[in-house]
Amino acid sequence: MLMNMSSPTRTLAPHPDRLLPPDPQVRAVARTIYEAVRELPIISPHGHVHPRMLLDDEPFGDPTALLITPDHYVTRLLHASGVPLEELGVGQGALDESAARVAWRHLCSHWQVFAGTPVRYWLEQELAEIFDVDVQPSADTADDVYDRVAARLAQPQFRPRALFDRFGIEVLATTDDPVDDLAAHAKIAADESFRGRVLPTFRPDRHLEVAAPGWRAAADALADASGCSTDTYAGWVAAMENRRAHFAAHGGVSTDHSHIDVGSDVLDPADAERIYAAARAGTVDAAQGVALRRHMFTEMARMATEDGLTMTVHPASRRNHDRPTFERFGADQGHDIPVRVDFTDPLRPLLERYGNHPNLTLVLFTLDETSFSRELAPLAGYYPSVYVGQPWWFLDAPDAIRRWRSAITDTVGFSRTSGFIDDTRAFCSIPARHDMSRRLDAGHLAGLVADHRLDLDEATEIAVDTVAGLPRRVFGL
């Protein structure tokens, strides 16, 4: 761990040209492109902000509860640096001020550990632009910065809805279980005092893993929510269709799928029924569970051709890699670790059936960069239904996004990509993340202008379309 205890206090002032290309001529071009998109509204069609936050509009708690404890992007690198998760508030319930300050000091005294990472880049922009902090966090400044953020959080203009407006968010999608009644979404939509669109996303993962612990209870809950008996395979499928319709009726525009692979082999109906019956009976084995999940993945595509919900796919993360920590603190604590993934052969059964269907939209994300040029761009460059998702999670970072544009653009240009997806649970990071993407796209497009592959006018049109057009088309907004 690096110590910078003796270093002088450093100012915090995000540079107006940050992330734009360093060559002066290219930077000037990038700046022009960036200016055209800088102030456009934010469309966030996939993420993990909780709808109750915007429904209740309660003031945020302390700085730690807002910026550290719930954000595994922040806690994971502190954990790697030797800070116990419990000292960051993980699994501790609400912290008292003293404990919150301890966690905050951990973050600030480890500031240099985050040097070069997007987490620090976002936090710096959040602190400076939202909370008017003008010094770099450090062991010395930790309490001052805490005080300044805490003071802001007590003011009404720092409540969730006020920030939502200030951030310029036009649409924000949440991620929800199929059994969710979506009451929060309905109330937000009915509240005329709030103009933001907050949309649910149908995420059926746990319902589709019939050999996993807890599945039986999930199927029962699905029956309750849908009014369709899930005693039979046909009823279970009908229950899914019912809940998708419920989501669509509440403004939902997409479903999200995050399994370890994207296999899509279709079962004979009799086999699907047989495996389903075994699942209900508690006698299903792991291989059967995989087979039914892959079959249902294609079923989800079939349903999408009927109800028009866009499918987003986020595969190949080994969830909860550190089992002892999972058992102690639960999921989403920063130790989901990517594994290799293939798309070409596993997706073929689905795409043979529905790949050319005019009503299907399939956005493919990956944590395995090798897919970019080898599989995702070739698939999206042929199938009208397929779009390449923006870099996600570990790849949602300046250099990774640059590599992605480089790997994708050669084959599919810009029109076959999803537009930026923040996929975050860190509400205050949303503007910084979208702004980062706009800067990087401006830089990439300026590079094409410098290469004389595009002229500035067209590059600017593409930048605007990437922010304002693509996400609307891809997500049917």
Which residues make beta-bridge pairs with 197? 171
Of 195, 339, 456, 476, the one binding its own copies (CB under 8 A) is: 339
Site for its own copies in 392-431 (CB under 8 A): 394-395, 397-400, 403, 406-407, 409-416
Q: Report in angstroms how near the CB of residue 67 gets to its own copies at its nearest.
A: 18
428's CB contacts (< 8 A; 6+ apart) are 66, 67, 126, 130, 163
Interacting stretch for its own copies, rule CB under 8 A, among 35-43, 55-63, 154-162, 390-398? 390-398
| Beta-sheet pairing, 169-173 with 197-199 | parallel
How many CB atoms within 10 Å of residue 240?
24
Question: For residues 178, 182, 185 and 187, what is the CA-based torsion angle, rounded to 10 degrees?
Answer: 180
Site for its own copies in 11-70 (CB under 8 A): 14-15, 17-19, 22-26
Is residue 472 near its own copies by the rule CB under 8 A? no
Q: Report in angstroms how near the CB of residue 136 gets to its own copies at its nearest.
A: 9
Q: Report in angstroms how near the CB of residue 452 gets to its own copies at its nearest.
A: 4
Is residue 302 near its own copies by the rule CB under 8 A? no
Q: Which is nearer to its own copies, 331 or 339 (CB)?
A: 339
Residues 105 and 64: their CA atoms lie apart, in Å, by 10
Of 454, 468, 472, 477, the one binding its own copies (CB under 8 A) is: 454
59, 159 in Cβ contact below 8 A? yes
Of 143, 455, 456, 476, the one binding its own copies (CB under 8 A) is: 455
Sign of CA dihedral 435, 439, 440, 445: positive
Q: Which is nearer to its own copies, 72 or 161 (CB)?
A: 72
Of 9, 35, 80, 166, the one binding its own copies (CB under 8 A) is: 80
Burial class (CB in 10 A: 0-12, 13-18, 19+), 385: buried
Of 232, 302, 381, 425, the one binding its own copies (CB under 8 A) is: 381
Is residue 228 near its own copies by the rule CB under 8 A? no
Query: For helices 430-450 and 398-412, what crossing angle results, to 10°?
Result: 50
Site for its own copies in 163-192 (CB under 8 A): none
Q: Which is nearer to its own copies, 199 or 397 (CB)?
A: 397
Of 189, 221, 225, 450, the one binding its own copies (CB under 8 A) is: 450
Of 34, 104, 114, 365, the one binding its own copies (CB under 8 A) is: 114
Of 4, 32, 229, 242, the one binding its own copies (CB under 8 A) is: 4
Of 51, 355, 389, 471, the one binding its own copies (CB under 8 A) is: 355
Q: Angle 410-412-413 (CA atoms, 0-180°, nearest 5)? A: 75
Residues in binding contact with its own copies, number by CB under 8 A: 98
Q: Report in angstroms how near the CB of residue 214 gets to its own copies at its nearest.
A: 21
Is residue 375 near its own copies by the rule CB under 8 A? yes
Q: Report in angstroms how near the CB of residue 15 gets to its own copies at its nearest.
A: 4
